[in-house]
Copies of this chain bind each other. A is one copy, B any other.
């Protein structure tokens, strides 16, 4: 029963609303003696920061993080790490339009049904702004994993499908991802995607995306039977990200179409190294990591707030309609890339620590 907490051994609790004074998180279970400072976290937050291109939200936030506890003389102490980011761009904008109306595709209707009250300003708690806290927690997790697993450990995420346009993941180039506004890993698609997304933006519409995240250097043996499987926890992590509607491990949904022969990832041994012929399993067998690359992908639905008018009701049960005024965010999925990286980092560290307890 931890509604706003993620994780078992490495746990973080996020708090805060889109237009409240601040957002933040408390990390509990971070091992001691890890070097950590605000720059380590800021670096990751800057990837997710809004207002960096015309293809994402225009909100202006510096997203400057402060460490309030748990770090002493530059090292973690094993006590809770409290992180805070003050909100800046909370314009005294006119919320009358959404105050009483339920935006289709958003959580307005369901929050109101559940709690009988909702902070309607910018989506309140259900805003994607909450994901900044996850990215901060993920930055800490990454730092610990790099310390524990060494240089071979690496996490890398990208948009591999923008609306109806895919890309060739064989062209995956880590170096270009955060240097293009689509977080696309395939240089050959940049122009095509740009033209496509511009047309969607001009039309006042939006599109979804598929994000893929990969982790290398993860040792075999992380995970747990049966209800804390590594893939089960990853699925939970990714599905908890705003607007995510589907999660795949390895070949994922496409596994259904493979034959037993194609799917089974034959194993061989060469000079004390175990090799797998393929990686349909996405690095996880029976809920436990095999030492192969962990491959996860997830689908983000198109931005629900668009310029076109949509039919809806208000909280008094009257039929009405709603549309976004001014500029909008044509693809919320893009900024989910660093969030996916952060969540995978957190799950992996969680299982790294859990494994210590499990195997005694």
Contact = CB atoms under 8 A, between A and B. Distances in A.
Interface centre among A4, A117, A268 (most CB of B within 10 A): A4
A312 interface: yes
Interface string A260-302: 1111111111001010010011101111111100000001111
A184 to B, nearest CB: 14
B113 A69 contact: no
Contacts of A333: 256
Nearest to A353: B357
Interface string A103-121: 0111101110111111100
Interface residues of A, number: 154
Interface stretch (A44-52, A54-62, A174-182, A230-238): A230-238
A109 B302 contact: no
Contact of A29 (B3, B124, B280, B289): B3
Q: Report whether over half of chain A's contact residues are helix, strand or loop; otherwise say mixed.
A: mixed
15 contacts: A1-B1, A1-B228, A3-B80, A6-B226, A26-B26, A29-B357, A31-B358, A77-B117, A78-B117, A207-B260, A255-B299, A256-B299, A262-B302, A266-B310, A269-B317
B205 A301 contact: no
Contact of A360 (B106, B144, B281): B144
Contact of A286 (B126, B206, B208, B247): B126
Q: How many subunits of this chain does the assembly comprise?
A: 4
Given A260-B206, A260-B303, A125 B225 contact: yes
A185 interface: no
Contact of A14 (B80, B117, B118, B252): B80
Contacts of A9: 1, 357-358
Given A233-B236, A357-B357, A268 B313 contact: yes
A253 B1 contact: no
Contacts of A235: 235-236, 238-239, 247
